[in-house]
Amino acid sequence: MAAIDVKSAAASHRYGFASARRLKTPAEFAAVLRAPREQSIRAARQLLSINVAWVATAMSSRQASSVRFGVTVGKRNARRSVDRALIKRIVREACRHQAASFEAQAARASVRIDIAVRLRAPLDDTDGEALAMRAWRRQVRAEADDLLRDALSQVSQRLA
């Protein structure tokens, strides 16, 4: 059996987001939230909301990454820090799956796309009882996938 080079295998599968692919400062999140309607999309589901904004970039000043993602989860909606961290990981994973599609759209339109996803409601069922972890994990992932697909189709229509 041939030995597998662990470093080269790990280098070919980069699952994290580089610093250039993340919204980090409050000012960056605020810019996405207050973008004019002509240059943004807003959508929401039961648990999550998404804001997508784009800015035209010159070909010479394009950054390495033309799509940036940000996820916010407040204490009001997820009291335990482990739950907040888990929600962020779930949403980031959904973003990773759609990142290439958003990158391609941004390259076609010569824009930088910023996406902010937020947990907007507590993790409760319709009776106000806390959902089981398995149930809310599935619901968060399904809503994140759905919101990102819808946002991608709306962005492609608006930038076409």
Rg of the chain in Å (alpha carbons):
17
Q: Which pLDDT score, from 0 to 100, does residue 35 have?
A: 94
Q: Which residue has the tokens 């799956």?
A: 97
Q: Which pLDDT score, from 0 to 100, does residue 57 have?
A: 81
Residue 15: band (very low, low, confident or very high) from pLDDT cuts 50, 70, 90: low
For residue 66 the two structure tokens come to 């033309």
CA–CA separation, 115 and 81 (whole Å): 23
The parent domain of residue 89 ranges over: 18-159
Residue 13 lies in a domain: no
With a cut of 90, say whether residue 19 has pLDDT above it: no
Residue 12 lies in a domain: no
Q: Residue 54 CA to chain centroid, in angstroms?
A: 14
Query: Span 122-138, mean pLDDT?
Result: 77
Better-predicted residue by pLDDT, 60 or 26? 26
Number of domains in the chain: 1
Residue 48 lies in a domain: yes
pTM above the 0.85 mark?
no
* Contact yes or no for 155/41 (Cβ under 8 A): yes
* CATH number for the domain that contains residue 126: 3.30.230.10
**Strand, helix or coil for residue 43:** strand
Residue 5 lies in a domain: no
**Residue in 60, 71, 84 with CA at minimum distance from that of residue 24:** 71
With a cut of 50, say whether residue 156 has pLDDT above it: yes
Residue 10 lies in a domain: no
Query: Span 103-115, mean pLDDT?
Result: 93
**Residue in 3, 17, 11 with CA at minimum distance from that of residue 117:** 17
Residue 81 lies in a domain: yes
Residue 115 lies in a domain: yes
What percent of the chain is modeled with pLDDT above 70?
81
What would the pLDDT profile of 67-105 be if each residue is shown by its tens digit?
A: 999 999 999 998 889 999 999 999 999 999 999 999 999
Distances (CA, A) of 52 to 36, 40, 116, 133: 11, 5, 6, 28
CA–CA separation, 110 and 143 (whole Å): 28
Residue 4 lies in a domain: no
